[in-house]
A and B are shown apart, each in its own frame.
Chain A
Amino acid sequence: MSTQAETVALPPRFRWRRVSLRLGDFPLIPTLILAGVAFVAIFANVLAPHNPEVGSLVARFKPPFWETGGSAKYLLGTDQLGRDVLSRLIFGARVSMVVGFTAVIFAGVIGTALGILSGYLGGWVDQVIMRLTDTWLALPALTFAIFLAAIVGPSMWNIVIILGITYWTRYARVIRGEVLSLKEREFVRLAIVAGCSKWTIMRRHILPNVINSAIVLGSLMLGVVIITEATLSFLGVGVPPPQPAWGLMLSDGKQGLMVGRWWLTVFPGCCIMLMVLSANLLGDWLRVKLDPQLRQL
Chain B
Amino acid sequence: MKQYIGRRVGYSLLSLFLLSLTIFFFVRVTGDPAALLVEPGASPADIAAIHHQFGLDRPLWVQYGIFMASLFHGDLGQSFYYRMPVMGLYLSRLPNSLLLAVVAMGLSLLIGIPSGILAAVRVGRFWDSVGKLFALLGLSLPSFWVGLVLILVFSVYLGWLPSSGAGTPLHLIMPAFALGWYFAAAHMRLTRSSMLEVLGSEYVKLARIKGLPQSLVIAKHAFKNALIPVLTLAGINLVIMVNVAVVVETVFAWPGIGRLLYEGIAFRDFPVVQGVVIMGGAMIVTVNLLIDILYAVIDPRIRLER
Question: B62-70, B139-147, B172-180, B225-233: which lies at the A interface?
Answer: B139-147
A131 interface residue per 8 A CB criterion: yes
**Closest B residue, CB atoms, query A260:** B156
Q: Are the CB atoms of B149 and A269 closer together than 8 Å? A: yes
Per the bound structure, the CA–CA distance linking A140 and B97 in Å amounts to 15
B280 interface residue per 8 A CB criterion: yes
Give the interface SS of chain B, mostly helix, strand, loop or mixed: helix
Question: A41-49, A81-89, A275-283: which lies at the B interface?
Answer: A275-283
Q: Are the CB atoms of A273 and B141 closer together than 8 Å? A: yes
Q: Note all chain B residues with C-beta closer than 8 A to A260.
A: 156-157
Task: Please provide the chain A residues from 217 to 257 with a CB less than 8 Å away from any CB of chain B in the complex.
Answer: 223, 227, 230-231, 234-237, 250, 253-254, 257
Q: Are the CB atoms of B15 and A236 closer together than 8 Å? A: no
Per the bound structure, the CA–CA distance linking A152 and B31 in Å amounts to 8
A187 interface residue per 8 A CB criterion: no
A151 interface residue per 8 A CB criterion: yes
Q: Are the CB atoms of A237 and B265 closer together than 8 Å? A: yes
Q: Are the CB atoms of A151 and B27 closer together than 8 Å? A: yes
Task: Please provide the chain B residues from 129 to 159 with a CB less than 8 Å away from any CB of chain A in the complex.
Answer: 136-137, 139-142, 144-145, 148-149, 151-152, 155-157
Q: Note all chain A residues with C-beta closer than 8 A to B99.
A: none
A123-143 interface code vs B (CB 8 A; 1 in, 0 out): 000000001101100111011
B284 interface residue per 8 A CB criterion: yes
Q: Are the CB atoms of A257 and B246 closer together than 8 Å? A: no
A148 CB contact (under 8 Å) in B19, B26, B31, B264: B26
A146 CB contact (under 8 Å) in B152, B246, B281: B246
A257-288 interface code vs B (CB 8 A; 1 in, 0 out): 11010100110010011001100110000000
Q: Are the CB atoms of A151 and B145 closer together than 8 Å? A: no
Q: Are the CB atoms of A272 and B145 closer together than 8 Å? A: yes
Q: Are the CB atoms of B274 and A147 closer together than 8 Å? A: yes
- Supposing A142-B244, A152-B30, A266-B149 touch, asked if A223 and B140 sit within 8 A by C-beta, the answer is yes
Q: Note all chain A residues with C-beta closer than 8 A to B294.
A: none
Q: How large is the interface on A (under 10, 10 to 19, 20 to 34, 35 or more residues)?
A: 35 or more
B105 interface residue per 8 A CB criterion: no
Task: Please provide the chain B residues from 180 to 232 with a CB less than 8 Å away from any CB of chain A in the complex.
Answer: 193
Q: Are the CB atoms of B247 and A140 closer together than 8 Å? A: no
B115 interface residue per 8 A CB criterion: no
Per the bound structure, the CA–CA distance linking A15 and B101 in Å amounts to 49
Give the interface SS of chain A, mostly helix, strand, loop or mixed: helix
Per the bound structure, the CA–CA distance linking A45 and B8 in Å amounts to 55
Per the bound structure, the CA–CA distance linking A234 and B265 in Å amounts to 12
Per the bound structure, the CA–CA distance linking A280 and B240 in Å amounts to 22
- Supposing A140-B281, A147-B277, A234-B247 touch, asked if A269 and B142 sit within 8 A by C-beta, the answer is yes
B78 interface residue per 8 A CB criterion: no
B273 interface residue per 8 A CB criterion: yes
**Closest B residue, CB atoms, query A227:** B142
- Supposing A147-B277, A150-B273, A235-B246 touch, asked if A262 and B152 sit within 8 A by C-beta, the answer is yes
B251 interface residue per 8 A CB criterion: yes
Q: Are the CB atoms of B281 and A235 closer together than 8 Å? A: no
Task: Please provide the chain B residues from 100 to 145 with a CB less than 8 Å away from any CB of chain A in the complex.
Answer: 136-137, 139-142, 144-145
- Supposing A135-B15, A280-B139 touch, asked if A150 and B265 sit within 8 A by C-beta, the answer is yes
Q: Note all chain A residues with C-beta closer than 8 A to B157.
A: 260
**Closest B residue, CB atoms, query A280:** B140
A197 interface residue per 8 A CB criterion: no
Q: Are the CB atoms of B19 and A139 closer together than 8 Å? A: yes
B163 CB contact (under 8 Å) in A223, A258, A266, A269: A258
B265 CB contact (under 8 Å) in A132, A139, A236: A236
Per the bound structure, the CA–CA distance linking A227 and B22 in Å amounts to 24
Tell me how far the C-beta of A44 lies from the nearest C-beta in chain B, rounded to whole angstroms.
22
Per the bound structure, the CA–CA distance linking A239 and B18 in Å amounts to 29
Q: Are the CB atoms of B156 and A258 closer together than 8 Å? A: yes
Per the bound structure, the CA–CA distance linking A128 and B131 in Å amounts to 41
Q: Note all chain B residues with C-beta closer than 8 A to A272.
A: 142, 145
Question: Apart from A142-B243, A254-B148, A257-B163, what are 17 other A-B pairs with CB-CB below 8 Å?
Answer: A131-B14, A135-B14, A135-B18, A138-B285, A138-B288, A142-B244, A143-B276, A143-B280, A144-B277, A147-B274, A150-B270, A231-B142, A235-B246, A257-B148, A258-B155, A273-B140, A276-B142
A interface residues with partner B (beta carbon < 8 Å): 131-132, 134-135, 138-140, 142-144, 146-148, 150-152, 223, 227, 230-231, 234-237, 250, 253-254, 257-258, 260, 262, 265-266, 269, 272-273, 276-277, 280-281, 296
B interface residues with partner A (beta carbon < 8 Å): 11, 14-15, 18-19, 22-23, 26-27, 30-31, 36, 136-137, 139-142, 144-145, 148-149, 151-152, 155-157, 163, 193, 240, 243-244, 246-247, 250-251, 261-262, 264-266, 270, 273-274, 276-277, 280-281, 284-285, 288
Sorted from nearest, which 8 A-B pairs have the closest CB atoms? A140-B243, A269-B145, A135-B18, A147-B277, A277-B140, A276-B140, A135-B15, A265-B148
